[in-house]
Structure formats: C-alpha cells, structure tokens
Chain A
Amino acid sequence: MEKSIKKYFPIFALPTMVAFTLGFIVPFIMGIYLSFCEFTTITDAKFVGLKNYIRIFSDSTFTHALWFTALFTVVSVLAINVLAFAIAMLLTKGIRGTNAFRTVFFMPNLIGGIVLGYIWQILLNGILEHFGKTLTYSASYGFWGLVILMCWQQIGYMMIIYISGIQNIPGELIEAAKIDGATAPQVLRYVTIPMVMPSITICTFLTLTNSFKLFDQNLALTAGEPSNNSQMLALNIFETFYSRTGWEGAGQAKAVIFFIIVAVIAVAQNRITRSKEVQQ
C-alpha cells in the first residue's frame, strides 16, 4: 500500500510542501541570515556580522518594549486564566441559562484585534474623559486598557476549554472526596485543579503566546503612544522595519530575539505544566 501511495507524491504532498517552503522555510532561513546583514530589500544584503545585535541593545525603545511586553504578559495571563477558570466553575453548576452565558462570553473572541482596539478606545476614552485624561495620557493607561481588552477577548475562549476540562472529571471522584470530609476549597485544590491540569496547560500556553505576540490590539488601541511608551515588542519590530530608514537589519535582529524568547517560553511552559498533569 505504501508503494502505491508513494507514486502519488506530487498530488498529495507536493503542493503543501512547496507552499510551506516558500511561505515558511525560505523566509525563515533568510530572516536569520538577514539579521546579520545591512539591507533595504532582500537583494542588496551586505554581511555585517553582529552589528545589528549590538545596535538593538542600545536602542532604548526595544528594551522598554521588552519589559512592557513581559509585564503585560504576566498580568494578562494571570487575569485571564483566573477569571476564565472561576467563570467555568460557576457555569458547570448547572444553573439556568448556562448555554446562553457561554455563547455571550465567547463572542468577543471572534472579533479581530483591529476592530477590538477601536471599540475599546471609544469606550475607555469615554470613561477617562470624566477625569480629564485619555488612553494615551501615560503608558500605564495604555497598559491597563490592553489588559481589559485582552480579558474581554480571551476569557470566553479559555472558559470554553476549562468547562470541557471540568466536565470530564468523573463525578465519583468529587463525591468520594466529599464523603471523606473534604471541604469545598480542599476539593478544588486536591481534586479539581489536578484533574483539569491538561486544560490549564493549554490555556496558559495560548494566553502566554497570544499576549506576548500581541500586535493588532496594540496598534489599534494606543499605537504605542505616548512616544512609544505603550509599545509592545511586535509593534516595536514592525516600526523598526518600516518607519526607520537604515534600521531594517536591526528590525530583523529584534525579530530573531523575539522568536527565541517565544520559543523558550513555549517549550519551558509546556515542560512545567505537563509535569504537573496526573495520569488518568
């Protein structure tokens, strides 16, 4: 059977492999190479060694964006997961209207980042106006604005995953714990949370990478204002490429650092939470 399928390689595998090579592998390898070059377009690249990498660490907008992004990621991952888990716990108690609530909470997730950014800009600026401020008054307004926006967008998605995790816990397990005299917090701590660990793994992974790579929402909500102080890493890289002449190489070097950080976070996070999962 394997042999006869193999003859069909050009039909089955080739289209995806060609597109994947052009759309991912070649740009990725070129991206690494270009980070060691000076260039304005891909045909005039001149090798300059580590110059770009040295340059980006003396660029204060980059280090600022890095810390801003890191802090934002920590706050939003905690907020989204705690709230989504709490809502999921309450919505699995079998109250009336559960399905309607689920539908409503999930809905914002389908709206794209650019549209979300402008929706929240009008809302938050409307509230801040009463205090004579705007979202771009200082970076911390932009920061909390983004946290609120991300909660609104992502809580529903994570809630759906947590609900399915909680529903998969065998009822006898919780009954047994209660008969043995466990209090509600003890059931949560020693039964529910260990049993939904796979959901926690996937939800922290998704929120971590979504928050760290955030671009559209950042662009639409504050566009990095005031003076790049609410700029996150992805937007900083974009502006380095397209708004500063002569900085393309530095932009690419930032992108390589960005990729390495995302990869390390993804792998480390997966290791840590997977090791806490119990065998079922």
Chain B
Amino acid sequence: MAKNTDNQVSAVRRAKHGWLLTLIFTVIAVLWLYPIFLVVINAVKKKAFITREPFALPDERSFFGLKNFVSGIEKTNFFSAMGNSVIITVGSVIVIIICTAMCAWYINRVKGKLSSAMYTACLFAMIVPFQMVMFSLSKLANMMHLSNPIGIIVVYLGFGAGQAVFMFSGFVKSIPLEIEEAAMIDGCTPLQTFFQIVFPIMKPTTITVAILEAMWIWNDYLLPYLVLDLKKYKTIPIVIQYLKGGYGAVDWGTMMAMLVLAIIPIIIFYAACQKYIIEGVVAGAVKG
C-alpha cells in the first residue's frame, strides 16, 4: 500500500496551481483548529465574559488566570477521573488484545461448531447498538460487582470482543500454517507457539485494534456512566457532563478549563503516535 503522498501517481498529476491550493488549505486548516483555540482562550477568562463575548481575546478586564482550572479541578476531582480513565482504557485495551487475539487464533485453528458459532456471533455483535443491551448489561454488571474500574474491563472485553475477534481472525487466516506446524514439531507448546511465533506476526493488526479500542473506550460516556458506581468512580467524559448539572446554570469558566484539560492528553497521544493512528484507521477500515 502506498504510504507516501508523493508517489508517482501524484507526481504525474502534480497540480499546476499547487501554491494556490496550499494557501487555501492553510486557511481552512487554521479555521479547522479555531474551535480548540476558542476553548483555550475562554478557559482563562472570567465566566461573565465567556457567554457575553466568546470571540474576544482575554484582556485585563476579562483575564482570570488559572482560577477556572483550580476551581474546576476541585469541583470535579478531575485528576481522579483522569486516573480512572487511564486505568480503564489501558487495562481494557491490554486485556482485549491478549484475550481476543488468543481467541481468534483458537477459533481459526480448531474448527468445530463452537468456533464457527463464536465467529458468527462476533460478526452479529458488531451491528448491535449499545442501547439494545444497555439496561440489562448495566444491571447484570451491578449484580456481578463489576461497577469499578477493574470490573468494567470485563464489560469492555465482552462488549468489544466482536470487532476485535473479527479483525484478528481476518489476519490469522492469512498466516501460513507451516510456520506454526514447524514450531510445534520442534516441541513448542501451543502457548509458546502463540506468544513466540503468532503474536509477534500479528503486530500490525494489534496496533490497529489497540488504536480503535483506545479511541472508543477513552471517549465512551454512556457505558461507564451506567456501569460504574458514580459515587466513587467517574471518568473524564462523565465529569464534563456532570459540570452541566441541571438545566440552565452552567459555569462556563470551569467548563472551558476542564475541556482544555480533557483535550491535552489527546493532543499529546496524537502527537506521539500520529503515524500509527492514521495507519491503524486505514487498516481497520479496509478489514472492517
């Protein structure tokens, strides 16, 4: 697959007015980032100035320093929510990858009714919207004491298994059997064969699954809102929604500050793994 945008196709078709396009796209790109810029400038303004003149840059009348951040962090206990989000996302992604990769390998290597039923069920699960299972799933999770950041990992494994097993299965089918047979003849147990031979080969799919699941779980609002014991545990999307409280009175100052804090980890993650994210999305789309 061509990764470089400057491949021979585009070189032949290189636009005559390239600089004009670059200029237009630069303007669009700046506009594209404007909503984020707007949140950042409003986060350091007094709340009265946010709704009255949201587009004005902070000046000496409206500048509020980091006070919105301080009161927002206190009010929402933001860093505890961030901790929960990190535990849930990282934990779920690791568990989903290891469990579903093993499961996908198993159902492709051991043929039988159970394996093919599992594969069909996974395909089916991908089109079922969350609302269909949300009530019974959240009640079941409470009954089984899964209402904490560790327990919810089991829920994510269960609800997210469909897509992950499907994507890993697609890859397992392309691995030549001879490699594994050779390893087994040389005395590897199935566990050794999987973790020393198969799992390393799966790396591209693992990255794709990890990126897609991480994007989903980090930003997920409804599932943790229904499953977690909210008196003890909240995630970032939940505290943001909590700031809205009842109808009407929203403290837009703290809201803007917390939005900034919610966006910062995403920008850092994106800056660090941009290449993998974009490749992962393309690969995921082709297989999904």
Contact = CB atoms under 8 A, between A and B. Distances in A.
State which size class the interface on B falls in: 35 or more
A198 B1 CA distance: 15
Contacts of A91: 5, 25
Interface stretch (B14-22, B63-71, B73-81, B202-210): B14-22
B54 A123 contact: yes
Contact of A13 (B35, B55, B103, B222): B103
* Chain A binding surface SS class: helix
Given A111-B266, A114-B221, A97 B133 contact: no
Contacts of A42: 135-136, 139-140
Given A94-B6, A94-B18, A102-B278, A16 B103 contact: yes
Given A4-B189, A96-B22, A252-B135, 18 more contacts: A2-B111, A12-B105, A20-B161, A24-B158, A27-B140, A31-B135, A41-B139, A42-B135, A91-B5, A104-B29, A111-B219, A113-B221, A114-B237, A114-B241, A213-B130, A220-B240, A220-B241, A263-B127
Contacts of B236: 112
A126 interface: yes
Given A16-B157, A119-B39, A256 B29 contact: no
Contact of A24 (B25, B162, B285): B162
Contact of A27 (B110, B133, B262): B133
A118 interface: yes
B25 A5 contact: no
Interface of B: 1-2, 5-15, 18-19, 21-22, 25-26, 28-29, 32-33, 35-36, 38-39, 42, 50-51, 54-55, 99-100, 102-103, 105-107, 109-111, 118, 121-122, 125, 127-137, 139-140, 144, 154-159, 161-162, 165, 177, 180-181, 184, 189-191, 194, 215, 218-222, 236-237, 240-241, 244, 247, 252, 255-256, 259, 262-263, 266-267, 269-270, 274, 277-278, 281-282, 285-286, 288
A120 B35 CA distance: 7
B222 to A, nearest CB: 6
A138 interface: no
Interface in A224-247: 234, 237-238, 241
Contact of A104 (B33, B107, B130, B140): B33
Given A106-B278, A202-B285, A23 B35 contact: no
B237 A12 contact: no
Contacts of B132: 28, 31, 255-256, 258-259
B116 to A, nearest CB: 13
Contact of A174 (B5, B9, B125, B259): B9
Contacts of A241: 134-135
Looking at B35, B118, B288, the one whose CB has the most chain A CB atoms below 10 A away is: B35
B181 A1 contact: yes
Interface string A79-110: 00000000000111111111111111111111
B209 to A, nearest CB: 13
Nearest to B30: A104
Contacts of A114: 219, 221, 237, 240-241
B274 A169 contact: no
A262 interface: yes
A206 B140 contact: no
A11 B195 CA distance: 13
A186 interface: no
Contacts, number: 309
Nearest to B180: A1
Contacts of B134: 238, 241, 255
A236 to B, nearest CB: 9
9 contacts: A6-B110, A16-B100, A42-B136, A104-B33, A107-B33, A161-B285, A167-B9, A199-B285, A206-B285
Looking at A112, A175, A223, the one whose CB has the most chain B CB atoms below 10 A away is: A112
Interface of A: 1-2, 4-9, 11-13, 15-17, 19-28, 30-31, 34, 41-42, 90-115, 118-120, 122-123, 125-126, 129, 152, 157, 160-161, 163-164, 167-171, 174-175, 198-199, 202-203, 206, 209, 213, 215-216, 219-220, 223, 234, 237-238, 241, 248, 251-252, 254-256, 258-259, 262-263, 266-267
A256 B118 CA distance: 22
Contacts of B278: 102, 106, 160
B168 to A, nearest CB: 10
Given A11-B191, A95-B25, A104-B29, A16 B154 contact: no
A22 B128 CA distance: 15
Contacts of B158: 19-24
B161 A111 contact: no
Nearest to A241: B135
Given A91-B5, A219-B241, A234 B103 contact: no
Contact of B102 (A11, A95, A112, A220): A11
Contacts of B282: 160-161, 164
Contacts of B2: 164, 167-168
Contacts of B50: 122
Contact of A97 (B22, B154, B247, B262): B22
A168 B244 CA distance: 46
